[in-house]
Amino acid sequence: MTAFTVEERAERPWVGVSLTGDLAHWGRVNAHVPLIYAALAAAGEIPEGGPIYQYHRMRTVADPMDITVSVPVAAVVEVGDGFETGVIPAGRYLVARPEGGPDTLGRVHGEMWQWANVQGLELAIEERADGIHWRARTEQFLTDPQTEPDRSKWAVEVAYLLQ
């Protein structure tokens, strides 16, 4: 089982693109990552880490989901048309840094929900007819795939904002 922590976090500025995507066509979602880095470079801005996938709404993993593909930055900055800016809110987060890369994320999310329930922690979610809406649920990729092609060795951080 994955180890979990509860961490107090400051808000995190980002630049990114919001879209609706699904796992069957995840390449379309991932295609935004190099575009965001290129826009930051063109604007003279320095990324503050690997890409962050912010999940806003999901019904099931097979259904389309609302997501923001983003890159953390030091401060909110405009980089051009087609890119948004914002902040991941400050607060208490349930956090996991699982071993095994992105292929373990489905299992890790399930374990996180169970662990939160056992610990009496409430995730900052709202259940609606069109799915679960999160105030903040993120997956940040900490390993550069250009330097480590083996997905099973990628470091990923999963975080859920708590109530």
Domains annotated for the chain, with CATH where assigned, are 4-161 (3.20.80.10)
Q: Which helix H or strand E contains 109, and what residues bound it?
A: helix 105-119
pLDDT at 157 over 90: yes
Conformational region of residue 27, where left means phi above 0, alpha means psi within -120 to 50, and beta covers everything else = alpha
Q: For residue range 51-66, what is the model confidence (pLDDT) as tens digits?
A: 999 999 998 878 899 9
- Token duo for residue 51: 């890409």
Q: Which helix H or strand E contains 28, and what residues bound it?
A: helix 26-30
Helix (H, G, I), strand (E, B) or coil at 17: strand
Q: For residue range 93-147, what is the model confidence (pLDDT) as tens digits?
A: 999 999 888 888 889 999 999 999 999 999 999 999 999 999 999 999 998 877 8
CB 45 within 8 A of CB 61: no
